[in-house]
Amino acid sequence: MTLATPRIRVPRSARPGEAVEIRALMEHPMETGLRQEGGRAAPRDMLQRLTVSVNGALAFQAEFRNGTSANPYHVFFLKLDRTSELVFTWTDEQGRSARAQARVTVG
Amino acid sequence: MAPALTRRAGLGLLLLALPGGALAQEDAVATAIREQVGDTTATEGGITLRAPPVAENGGQVPVTVLVDSPQTAEAHVTAIHVFATRNPTPGVASFRLTPLMARAEVQTRIRLAEDQRIIAIAQLSDGSVRRTAAELRVTTGGCLS
């Protein structure tokens, strides 16, 4: 099974240094392995992390544990001093990953 | 030395007499926090945890953690950790932050099995640690177990 297609919201353009709101949503059950389903535990199926890079440099990372909701949704703010390539990578505990990419024109 | 040991033994007995579940949970929370931030003493202030006082759906509780920081190369938040004190396991998430962020703020959604205290802890580039907590009530628990 492959991961779902992530959904990101990134503005197309920004002024240098301003706070740029980034939203990232990933459809995923985030099954902890603790939940009982029909008398036995539903198998664990969890995303492990989300990494966000700006022009190849790590800008933000989320490491998920059991308390993170299904369909993890995150909002954070970047500052960009030049036109930037943003790469989002979600990785699950099996090592599968999904990727999204966006370009923000700064000027 | 002997009196101190005796006192500690007495405390041990007292702890044994307490309900095991609650104690194990507190232990698990303390252990989870120590795993992330070590034994550095955390200070209150300069960190805000925003969450609804009552969450309708424990499966999707919006939470914002905001730390006062210029988020420059010289002075920035390096990590924010979130813990749930009465979930089956206390870990919620750890966020790694960098000076590429405009501010030390993360919005996420967490799940809560029942009414409980949420703890947010921030680590800063100067090695200091800040901590805050919020009590949340949950109408319908998130399906963790």
**Contact flag A77-B61 (C-beta cutoff 8 Å):** no
How many other CB atoms are there within 10 angstroms of residue A102's CB atom?
15
Domain ranges of chain B: 2-140
Average pLDDT value over all residues in chain B: 88
Please give the Cα distance from A2 to A98 (Å, whole number).
8
First to last CA, chain B: 45
**Contact flag B107-A70 (C-beta cutoff 8 Å):** no
Q: Is the pLDDT of residue B137 over 80?
A: yes
**Contact flag B96-A58 (C-beta cutoff 8 Å):** yes
Instruction: Give the mean pLDDT of A4-9.
Output: 96
Shortest distance, CA A18 to any CA of chain B (angstroms): 7
Please give the Cα distance from B145 to B141 (Å, whole number).
10
pLDDT in the model for residue B143: 66
Token couple for A76? 């954070």
Confidence at B75, pLDDT banded by 50, 70, 90? very high
In sequence order, what are the residues at sequence separation of 6 or more whose Cβ sits closer than 8 angstroms to the Cβ of residue A58? A51, A52, B96, B98
Please give the Cα distance from B24 to A5 (Å, whole number).
39
pLDDT in the model for residue B14: 46
Q: Is the pLDDT of residue B65 over 80?
A: yes
Q: Is the pLDDT of residue A83 over 80?
A: yes
Q: Which residues of B touch A63 (CB under 8 A)?
A: 93-96
- Strand B116-124 relative to strand B129-140: parallel, antiparallel, unpaired? antiparallel
ipTM score:
0.96
% of residues, chain B, pLDDT over 90:
76
Instruction: Give the mean pLDDT of B105-119.
Output: 96
Shortest distance, CA A60 to any CA of chain B (angstroms): 5
State which residue of chain A sits closest to B89, comparing Cα positions.
A66
Which domains can be identified in chain A, with CATH numbers?
7-106 (2.60.40.10)
Please give the Cα distance from B90 to A81 (Å, whole number).
38
CB B67 within 8 A of CB B47: yes
Residue with more model confidence, B70 or B142: B70
pLDDT in the model for residue A84: 98
Q: Is the pLDDT of residue B125 over 70?
A: yes
**Contact flag B143-A74 (C-beta cutoff 8 Å):** no
Shortest distance, CA B87 to any CA of chain A (angstroms): 8
Q: Is the pLDDT of residue B10 over 60?
A: no
Q: What is the 3-state secondary structure (H, E, C) of chain B?
A: CHHHHHHHHHHHHHHHHCCHHHHHHHHHHHHHHHHHHCCCCEECCCEEEECCCEEEECCCEEEEEEECCCCCCCCCEEEEEEEECCCCCCEEEEEEECCCEEEEEEEEEECCCCCEEEEEEEEECCCCEEEEEEEEEEEECCCCC
Token couple for B129? 């640690």
- CATH of region B2-140, choose from 2.60.40.2470, 2.60.40.420, 3.30.379.10, 3.30.460.30: 2.60.40.2470
Q: Is the pLDDT of residue B123 over 70?
A: yes
Encode pLDDT of A37-63 as tens digits.
888 989 999 999 999 999 999 999 999
Chain A / chain B CB contacts < 8 angstroms: 108
**Contact flag B94-A67 (C-beta cutoff 8 Å):** no
pLDDT in the model for residue A11: 98
Burial A2-30 (b: 16+ CB within 10 A, else e): ebeebebebeeebeeeeebebebbbebeb
Strand, helix or coil at A96? coil
Smallest CA-to-CA distance from B28 within B85, B80, B95 is with B85
- Judged by average pLDDT, the poorest of A77-91, B5-19, B63-77 is B5-19
**Contact flag B101-A74 (C-beta cutoff 8 Å):** no
Shortest distance, CA A89 to any CA of chain B (angstroms): 14
Q: Is the pLDDT of residue B13 over 50?
A: no
Please give the Cα distance from A24 to A79 (Å, whole number).
16
Q: Is the pLDDT of residue B6 over 70?
A: no
Q: Which residues of A touch B142 (CB under 8 A)?
A: 69
The single-letter DSSP state of residue A17 is: T
Please give the Cα distance from B87 to B118 (Å, whole number).
10
Encode pLDDT of B16-64 as tens digits.
445 566 777 888 999 999 999 999 999 999 999 999 999 999 999 999 9
